[in-house]
Amino acid sequence: QGIVIAKGKQKGISLRKVLSFVVFGVFLSGPLGHAWLKFLNGRKNKLKGQKLILYKIALDRLAFGPCFNLLQMTFVYKAS
């Protein structure tokens, strides 16, 4: 059983795309995620408790998330 890509041009799994995701995950996603979380946890902030947690989640989802998704899709598109 294979995966059908849009417009039926390619059937099956694209090894090149899989390898692109692997390379992205190992060399970009891991280090970037680590640095981002280190940055979030290292910031001096007056907020405490649930407000601090909600602030970090909002910052992650609104600032880092869209940029990371754009980077990932661009990388995989260009690499495959």
Q: What is the pLDDT of residues 25-47, one digit of tens each?
A: 999 999 999 999 999 998 888 89
Q: How many helices (H) and strands (E) does the chain have?
A: 4, 0
Residues shown for the chain: 80
Of 5-14, 19-28, 59-68, the one with minimum mean pLDDT is: 5-14
Phi-psi label, residue 47: left if phi above 0, alpha if psi -120 to 50, beta otherwise: beta
pTM over 0.85, yes/no? no
Per-residue confidence (pLDDT) for residue 80, from 0 to 100: 76
Asked if residue 3 has pLDDT above 90, the reply is no
